[in-house]
Amino acid sequence: MQAAGFADPQVEISGEVTACPGQTGTGHLREIKNIIMVASGKGGVGKSTTAVNLALALHAEGAKVGLLDADIYGPSQRTMLGVADDVKPELVDEKFLKPVVRMGIKSMSVGYLSEEKAPMIWRGPMATRMLSQLLEQTIWGELDYLVVDMPPGTGDIQISLAQKLSVSGAVVVTTPQEVALIDARKGIEMFNKVGIPVLGIVENMATHICSNCGYEESIFGQHGAQTMAQEYNTAMLGSLPLDARIREDVDQGMPTVATDPLGALSAAYIAVGQQVAAQLWLNNKVMHTPPSIVMVED
């Protein structure tokens, strides 16, 4: 085949994740290009499941990804990532911690340092201090994205972390149910007040498809997240179904994106990840440079 006088032309496309211009991290945070908070106004909307699958989706697209379990009172990422109970972060120089690597992503959680059944009976300042230590004393290395699985709500931990970190953007997870949307609005308002851009909204448990007859039903309501996205002039990052397989996968320590990377459910998470990356690119206001074309004749 001939093309412009060249035999067997080859096209090579490469990309690079750009760093947030406001990223001012020091120490072990300085090599992190973007910090993404995954938050919800209330518990039970699938925030942690969304966070771990988002991290894996970004990794599946070729990015270097870390995951911080900041849900200090209810850490769940150990279970969701399938990290064995006897696995502990390696201590370096009696002060720093190496993250636990699982399925290609670096992770850190207070759940790695405590017994599974031991409750975290800490006041707000203690919890915030512990979380700051986990974040700053973990040897993250070079990361394109650090996904932070935030605690639900808008309390001390959320506000302190939001003010302490150079956060690139936040993803708000909700269900279509009005009760969840009310609390999700509070989360968006909190991020707006502390100056963190809201990348968009993920609508979880949007519809359920009957496994017997295939009938699709909006159990928790319709269009609520879309309306809220329009209200706050933010992106609708995607809708995820209510599907038993998603719950089963994280319970077994193999999130959906890792269990069935080519399946329809994984495709939905990967689409959300692509939207998150695109919104970050837009928010970082990177000047787009056209790809260079080089012709080399053998």
CA nearest to 14, candidates 295, 283, 292? 292
Q: Which sequence spans correspond to the domains of the chain?
A: 31-283
pLDDT of residue 214: 73
Backbone φ, ψ for residue 130 (5° rounding): -65, -45
- Cα first-last separation, the chain: 15
What is the rounded CA–CA span in Å between residue 225 and residue 187? 13
- pTM of the predicted model, to two decimals? 0.86
Better pLDDT: 108 or 212? 108
Joined together, the tokens standing for residue 87 give: 């696995």
pLDDT of residue 115: 64
Mean pLDDT score, 171-178: 91
Q: Read off the pLDDT band of 113 (50, 70, 90).
A: confident
Mean pLDDT score, 16-25: 71
CATH number of 31-283: 3.40.50.300
Could you give the 3-state DSSP secondary structure of residue 211?
coil
pLDDT of residue 149: 94
pLDDT tens by residue, 216-265: 777 777 777 889 999 999 999 999 998 999 999 999 999 999 999 999 99
Please name the residues in contact with 171: beta carbons below 8 A apart, sequence gap of 6 or more.
36, 37, 38, 39, 50, 54, 198, 199, 200, 201, 202, 237, 276
User: Range with the lowest mean pLDDT among 90-99, 160-169, 210-219, 227-236?
Assistant: 210-219
